[in-house]
Amino acid sequence: MHILLVTRRFPPAPGGVESQVFQIAHRLAKRGHRVRVYTSDLYSDIPLRRLPRGHAPSPNGIEISRYITVPVPRRMLKGTSFAPTMLLAVLKANSPDIVHCQGLNLVTVSASLLAQGLRNCKVICTPQVDPNLLSGRFTGIVLRRFDGLVALTDIEREQMLKLGIDHSKIRVIPNGVDLDAFNRLPTSDCFRKKNGITNHLVLYAGRIDALKGCAVLIEAVSLVQRRIGDCTLVFAGPDWGSQGYLRQLSEQRKVRTVFTGNLSSTELRGALVACDVFVLPSFSESFPISILEAMLAGAPVVATRVGGISAIVHDGDTGLLVTPGDDKGLADAICRILKDRQLSARLATNAKSSASKYTIERTLDELENFYNDILG
């Protein structure tokens, strides 16, 4: 097949969606498909950082084209932008067999639906957003335009059905992880020694962003310290404009906080192995790969009950779930894990077994089947 993947950001831009699309693109190419990627020149939205634009082949033969994005006036703080040169490229490009839109945003949707209308090719979409955001009349109109929709969880599928989308258009295909990368994990002391950590290590991995609940986590860890002693809170991920405020808050609450910046895959696995508890306190999530990676590394998980998280984390079995924004509830859950080694071990063991089902190869098999069904 000739497949065009349209995504707002693509590695080296960091992020869970970005890494997932990277895996999909390279593995589809290895399976013999012709794969092109249309993406923006964004490394990050806030602060605005760009990557070199242009066209370049990757080692696996993927054709990657980056186009300039233009911020939408009065929406810059929300990272909203569009890519006019990408639309021009769609007008000139050879028609692919199928276009896979990754993400429900102005850049990806406009280019994908333009290809559908002008090139008469089949177009599917993986929204990659919190299922609760799939609401409203306009969203329903947009999603119904696609020939097929990929829901990452059954929760997301139900939201799509509520929008009046025909069930035959929807396929549930979860994101996947490369299990081979977790067969040989680093020792737990490597990351700790590098960062001078000798006490309880609480780890967050993802964008340093208000939407991710990072400030709530600092408040929670300050409460944890009153009960069980000093902890080190590690934020592993790129700064999206919140790091300065979080440093100040950490000082005020007397929480030792380490900001590592964006880690390589190997470095992140080292952090996951080293931590005593992995926490994702987000206010909104789709299907966070970081939770699956934490599970596979043997880290007990505490997360908020939002979006598609409850499809991955089963409260009391494979992790602990709390209400978003509840620093006291989050502190209680962290304390339970840090104080109860039997609970911690049981959650980690169950989680590793559960997460091992979410393989990237399974994702690719199901995507290929869906592409073939859409193409008829």
At residue 191, φ and ψ (nearest 5 deg) are -65, -40
Helix (H) or strand (E) holding 224: helix 214-228
> For the segment 17-50, what is each residue's pLDDT rounded down to a tens digit?
999 999 999 999 999 999 999 999 999 887 888 9
CA distance 269 to 297: 7
CATH architecture, domain 180-355: 3-Layer(aba) Sandwich (3.40)
Q: How confident is the model at residue 118 (pLDDT cuts 50, 70, 90)?
A: confident
For domain 2-176+359-375, give the fold.
Answer: Rossmann fold (3.40.50)
> For the segment 119-171, what is each residue's pLDDT rounded down to a tens digit?
889 999 999 999 999 999 999 999 999 999 999 999 999 999 999 999 999 99
Task: Report domain extents, the chain.
Answer: 2-176+359-375, 180-355
Averaged pLDDT score across all residues of the chain: 94
pLDDT above 90 (res 93): no
pLDDT above 90 (res 76): no
- Average the pLDDT over 320-337 and give the result: 98
Strand partners, 3: 35, 98
CA distance 165 to 187: 48
Judge whether 2-176+359-375 and 180-355 match in fold: yes
Q: What pLDDT is recorded for position 73?
A: 75
- Average the pLDDT over 168-186 and give the result: 95
CA distance 90 to 36: 12
pLDDT above 80 (res 77): no
Strand partners, 122: 98
CA neighbor of 96 nearest in space, from 213, 2, 33: 2
CB 219 within 8 A of CB 281: no
pLDDT above 90 (res 276): yes
CA distance 25 to 100: 11
At residue 278, φ and ψ (nearest 5 deg) are -100, 130
Report the predicted TM-score, pTM, of the whole model to 2 decimal places.
0.93
Q: How confident is the model at residue 243 (pLDDT cuts 50, 70, 90)?
A: very high
CB 211 within 8 A of CB 217: no
Per cent of the chain over pLDDT 70 is 98
CA distance 64 to 40: 10
Q: What pLDDT is recorded for position 184?
A: 87
3-state DSSP call for residue 83? coil
Q: What pLDDT is recorded for position 74?
A: 65
Q: How confident is the model at residue 75 (pLDDT cuts 50, 70, 90)?
A: low
CA distance 371 to 363: 12
